[in-house]
C-alpha cells in the first residue's frame, strides 16, 4: 500500500465541519494512511478520532495547532505525536479556551456597534464544547446575510484591521513549543508562507523557532505552486528542519483543499514522520 500522510486538518472540536469520526472516515476514503488531527488549541477531538481510526485501519497521529505570538504577530505551531495528558499542555488548552471565549465576547461587541446582534450566542451554540473561532463568526455573518462567503466575512469584518478584529494575546511562541516538545511531540511551523513575512523576518522567526526546539516546517500545504514549495524547501534545508505536509482541511465546500490531496515531499527533505515515535 502506498503511504499517504496528511498531518494537518480540523474537526468540529475547533472550526472544521466534520466530526472527528467523519473526518477520519473521509481521510480513509481519500487514501490517507496516516492522519494527524490538529484542531486549534484543543485535543478534545482525539479520542473519537482514535476510535474510528482503529476501526478503519488508518494511523492517527495525535496533534494540535497552537495559536502563538512572537514579535506581536500570530503564528500557528502544529504539534505532532503529542501526549494530550501532559499537564502543561492540557492546562494550556484550557487557558486558550478562556482566551477564545473572552475574545468572542469582544468580537460580538464590535459587531453590535455595526448593528449586528446575537453573534456571541450564535457562535457559542455553534461551537458547542469546541473552541470558538473566527470561522464561527464568519458562518454566523453568512447565516444573517451580511456576507455571502467566509472570505468576504474576513475581508469585511474579521481580518486584522477590519471593524470586528480583536487583537489577541495567545501563547508565547517559545512557551508553546515547550508544551509540544515536553509532551514528547514534534513542533512544526504551520503554513509558513501565509504570514507574508519578508525573507529577513522569516529567517529571524526560524532561528527563534529552531532555538526553542522546533523541528519541522510545513513544506507542503494545499494550493502551493512549485515555486512556493521550492522557497519553503530552501528554508527547511537552511535551518535543518524536517518537512511536514498537511491539507489544513476544514470542510468539503472548498473543492481545492481535500484531505490527502497534496504534492509529494521533495526528495531532499527529511520527512517529519521519521521523527515520530
- Per CB under 6 A, which region of 87-95, 147-155, 228-236, 259-267 contacts ligand AMP? 147-155
190 Cβ contact partners less than 8 Å away, ≥ 6 residues apart: 8, 65, 75, 76, 77, 78, 218, 221, 246, 248
CA distance 266 to 264: 6
Contact between 218 and Mn ion by CB under 5 A: the answer reads: no
| Pair 208, 77: CB distance under 8 Å | no
Task: Answer with the entry of Mn ion, ligand AMP, none that 218 interacts with (C-beta below 5 to 8 A by kind).
Answer: none
Instruction: Supply 145's cell numbers.
Output: 446575510
Which residues, 236 to 265, sit near ligand AMP by CB under 6 A? 250
Per CB under 6 A, the list member of 38, 150, 183, 244 interacting with ligand AMP is 150
CA distance 191 to 96: 21
Task: Answer with the entry of Mn ion, ligand AMP, none that 26 interacts with (C-beta below 5 to 8 A by kind).
Answer: none
Contact between 39 and ligand AMP by CB under 6 A: the answer reads: no
- Per CB under 6 A, which region of 43-51, 105-113, 127-135, 204-212 contacts ligand AMP? 127-135
In 166-184, which positions are buried (b, 16+ CB within 10 angstroms) versus exposed (e)? beeebbebeebbbbbbebe
Exposed/middle/buried for 165, CB within 10 Å: 0-12, 13-18, 19+? middle
Q: What are phi and psi of 90, to 5 degrees?
A: -60, -40
Instruction: Supply 200's cell numbers.
Output: 529577513
Contact between 41 and Mn ion by CB under 5 A: the answer reads: no
CB of 150 to ligand AMP, least distance (A): 4
Contact between 151 and ligand AMP by CB under 6 A: the answer reads: yes
Contact between 248 and Mn ion by CB under 5 A: the answer reads: yes
- Per CB under 6 A, which region of 54-62, 130-138, 181-189, 269-277 contacts ligand AMP? 130-138
Residue nearest to ligand AMP (CB): 133
Contact between 40 and ligand AMP by CB under 6 A: the answer reads: yes
- The residue ranges that bind Mn ion (CB under 5 A) are 15, 65, 76, 190, 248
Amino acid at each position: 500500500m502506498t503511504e499517504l500522510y496528511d498531518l494537518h486538518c480540523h474537526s468540529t472540536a475547533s472550526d472544521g465541519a466534520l466530526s472527528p469520526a467523519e473526518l477520519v472516515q473521509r481521510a480513509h476514503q481519500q487514501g490517507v494512511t496516516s492522519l494527524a488531527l490538529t484542531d486549534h488549541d484543543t485535543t478534545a477531538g482525539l479520542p473519537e478520532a482514535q476510535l474510528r481510526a482503529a476501526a478503519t485501519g488508518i494511523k492517527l497521529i495525535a496533534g494540535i495547532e497552537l495559536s502563538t505570538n512572537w514579535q506581536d504577530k500570530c503564528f500557528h505551531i502544529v504539534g505532532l505525536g503529542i501526549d494530550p495528558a501532559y499537564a502543561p499542555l492540557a492546562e494550556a488548552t484550557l487557558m486558550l479556551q478562556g482566551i477564545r471565549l473572552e475574545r468572542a465576547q469582544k468580537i460580538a461587541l464590535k459587531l453590535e456597534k455595526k448593528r449586528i446582534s446575537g453573534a456571541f450566542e450564535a457562535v457559542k451554540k455553534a461551537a458547542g464544547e469546541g473552541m470558538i473561532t473566527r470561522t464561527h463568526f464568519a458562518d454566523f455573518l453568512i447565516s444573517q446575510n451580511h456576507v455571502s462567503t467566509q472570505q468576504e466575512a474576513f475581508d469585511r469584518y474579521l481580518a486584522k484591521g477590519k471593524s470586528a478584529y480583536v487583537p489577541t494575546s495567545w501563547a508565547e511562541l517559545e512557551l508553546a513549543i515547550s508544551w509540544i516538545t515536553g509532551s514528547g511531540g514534534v513542533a512544526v511551523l504551520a503554513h509558513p508562507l501565509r504570514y507574508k513575512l519578508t525573507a529577513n523576518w522569516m529567517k529571524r522567526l526560524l532561528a527563534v523557532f529552531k532555538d526553542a526546539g522546533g523541528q519541522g516546517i510545513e513544506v507542503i500545504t494545499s494550493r502551493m505552486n512549485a515555486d512556493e514549495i521550492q522557497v519553503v524547501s530552501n528554508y527547511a534545508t537552511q535551518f535543518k528542519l524536517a518537512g511536514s505536509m498537511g491539507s489544513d482541511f476544514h470542510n468539503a465546500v472548498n473543492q481545492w483543499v481535500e484531505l490527502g490531496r497534496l504534492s509529494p515531499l521533495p526528495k531532499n527533505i527529511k520527512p517529519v514522520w521519521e521523527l515520530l515515535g
